[in-house]
Amino acid sequence: MSGQEGAARASKRATGGGWLEASRPTAYIVAIAAAVIAAIGPSGEFPLSDDWSYAYAARELCTTGQLRLLPWTGASVVLQAAYGAALCAVGGFSFELLRASTLVLAVTGALGFALWLQTLGVRGLALGLAVVLVALNPLYVNLAFTFMTDVPTTVAAIWAAYFYSRGLTERRSGLVLTGSLLAAAALLIRQHGIFVAGAAGTAALLVADRPWGERLRTAAIALAIPATAFIAFHLWLLVLHPPPEAVLQKLDEAGRLTASGLINCAFRGLMYLGVFTAPLLIGFRHPLHAYHPRLLRGGYLLAGTLALVLFVRERTLMWYLTNVIYDVGLGALSLRDTQVLALVPVRRLGLALSIPLTGLAVVAVGRGVSTYCTGFRRLRDPAVGFTVLATGMLFAGTLVHTRYYFDRYLLIVLPFAVATLLTLRPLPTIRPISLALAAVLAWYAVAGTHDYMAWNRARFDGLAALEASGVPATSIDGGFEYNAWRFAPSGYAGPTNNAARPGQPQSVRSWWWVADDEFLLSFRPLGGYAVRQRLPYRRWLPPGTGHVFVLERRP
């Protein structure tokens, strides 16, 4: 092979391997996505988690032409409301339609992630494994079946990363500009997208062997549009009209950060990322054993010590955070018995799951933190520097919500964490344990989301039957989403922090805009109520039949 041919091939690899190579995973990704969506089933004309708030913004923009944010809305949501309104203008308002839009975006996110990794030199089985770890992650799959903001902003951030990485490496301003537009799109769905732009601008300044004029110009292109969008949005939100109460609460949270709160939440977040990336960190042969043994031992010691301290203080093990992931299931358990009374899930493994899961996370975090620390020596490499900086900035950005630190905040960090781990070390031979761990996580994601959709279908079928029998919605505690969608826009006051805290006494009515709880839905019978109906649904995790109970208050 001539030197010219070798240079041409090297250039082709550096820019993503050409169209044919870049598109090679597309058929596999689309086929697997179609199979997952069909297996879970996206049907159901009902809200999930907080997406009723974002659906309200889309519906109001479609029907009135005005962007109206409910007090519950803390995300920026502007772009999501806009495309949601456009879809509703064509097909009419529907939760199923909005959910389908997120599923389509989720598939494009998986494709974009594969392209991005190819620009970073990841190929073969390692590429496939990495895509599985992101696209079949429990958070990604579960939230893709909602109209929540987490997946859309993550998808925009992934595509921004692809264009930023190429633009910084190839010194092409047009690609950097495209990345900046996508970063602006990400932050107009959820504010954390600004950190992607911040990482690109910083990486541009740190690039070695380039004139300072070029570095400054590239940084300006990377930052100008996202920074302008960020400032303009917050001027509109905070100055031109009263901001939503949730935004004020988040600003208050950011102003009340403490060292102990930051350490606590940072450790919990790292443990989740450790589990999600364990197939890379545990299944691969780790060069740190040979090159940085002290750093690796220090990572193990730090993670293990913090896990022990947290257990002694709070008697808690993984899963540490709330909202999407719990024991052997996925999705917010938003009925009275689990969310208000804080009763444990009907089916759970308890210590049989939490002990080995915590041990797995400790080992993975020790290796992951040690690997990440080695990346600071490569910040002057444009693509690697951007990836390392974006991972750190995005993770730090999640910590401004230490009062309510939910597991789903980590979703946008995950693809950057996976990309970082694969760029900071030679791609090793993948061991069978890597594939086994990835398969378990993927099965958990699919089965848990299937069960989440199944019990919600049962719930809303029961609620529809109640309403059809003449029971008014004001007499029903149907769970968070049911009451919120019907009554939160009507001016009912939102809950205080104390009222929203799980573990309330049975005498206290559910906080989610319940006028009267003559009828309520629960995962089990409750004192003072007779069972009016048992609504069965098929579970995959663990296999069997679950039930949602329609309860009627005893005279």
pLDDT at position 156, please? Answer: 98
| pLDDT beyond 50 at 16 | no
Residue 10 has pLDDT above 60, yes or no: no
**Structural Rg of the chain based on CA atoms:** 24
Element (H, E) at 521: strand 519-522
Helix (DSSP H) and strand (DSSP E) numbers for the chain: 23, 6
Q: Region 59-68: what's the mean pLDDT?
A: 96
For position 255, what pLDDT does the model report? 83
- What are the contacts of 262-266 at 24+ separation with CB within 8 A? 262/399, 262/402, 263/306, 264/310, 264/402, 265/398, 265/399, 265/402, 265/405, 266/395, 266/399
Relative to beta strand 519-522, strand 543-553 is antiparallel
- pLDDT tens for 261-293 read 999 999 999 999 999 999 998 866 555 555 567
pLDDT recorded at residue 299: 84
Q: What is the pLDDT of residue 348?
A: 85
| CA–CA distance, 281 with 299 (Å, rounded to integer) | 13
Segment 144-161 mean pLDDT: 98
Name the pLDDT band for 12 (thresholds 50, 70, 90): very low
* Structure-token pair, residue 238: 């905070």
pLDDT in tens, 462-491: 999 999 999 999 999 999 999 999 999 987
The pLDDT, as a whole number, for residue 294 is 79
Query: How far is it, in rounded angstroms, from Cα 230 to Cα 90?
Result: 29
| Most confident stretch, 115-124, 182-191, 417-426 | 182-191
Q: State the average pLDDT over residues 155-168.
A: 98
Phi, psi of 330 (to 5 degrees): -135, 155
| Placement of tokens 């649904």 in the chain | 537
CA angle 9, 176, 201 (to 5 degrees): 115
Among the listed ranges 239-243, 520-524, 542-546, 550-554, which one has the minimum average pLDDT value? 239-243
Mean pLDDT of 134-160: 98
Higher-confidence position of 75 and 14 = 75
The 3-state secondary structure of 524-549, one letter per residue: CCCCCEEEEEEEEEEEECCEEEEEEE
pLDDT in tens, 325-368: 999 999 999 999 999 999 998 888 889 999 999 999 999 999 89
User: Tokens at residue 316, please?
Assistant: 């808690």
Tell whether the model's pLDDT for residue 207 goes beyond 70.
yes
The one-letter amino acid code at 147 reads F
Exposed e or buried b for every residue in 351-360, given b needs 16+ CB within 10 A?
eeebeebbeb
Q: Is 17 left (phi over 0), alpha (psi -120 to 50) or beta?
A: left
Q: Which pLDDT tens digit goes with each residue over 120-137?
A: 999 888 899 999 999 999
Q: Which of 274, 328, 548 is nearest to 437 (CA)?
A: 274
Phi-psi region of 209 (alpha: psi -120 to 50; beta: other; left: phi over 0): left
pLDDT at 7 > cutoff 60 = no
Give the pLDDT score at 172. Answer: 97
Q: Which amino acid appears at position 442 of this protein?
A: A
Compute the half-sphere exposure of residue 547: CA atoms within 13 Å on the CB side of its CA: 10
SS3 18: helix
DSSP code for 340: I
The predicted pLDDT at position 496 comes to 81
pLDDT of residue 504: 93
463 CB burial (10 A radius; 0-12, 13-18, 19+): buried
**Model pTM score:** 0.94
For residue 259, give the 3-state DSSP assignment: helix
The Cβ of residue 364 has, within 10 Å, a number of other Cβ atoms equal to: 25
pLDDT number for residue 25: 80
Q: What percent of the chain has pLDDT over 90?
A: 76
How much of the chain, in percent, has pLDDT values that exceed 70? Answer: 93
Say which residue the tokens 């620009």 belong to.
119
Q: How far apart are CA 413 and CA 424, in angstroms?
A: 17
- How much is the pLDDT for 370? 84
Q: How confident is the model at residue 1 (pLDDT cuts 50, 70, 90)?
A: very low
Q: What is the DSSP letter of 337?
A: I
Nearest Cα residue to 187 out of 77, 293, 110, 89: 77
Half-sphere exposure of 326 (CA within 13 A, CB side): 20
**pLDDT of res. 4:** 38
DSSP β-bridge partners for residue 325: 330
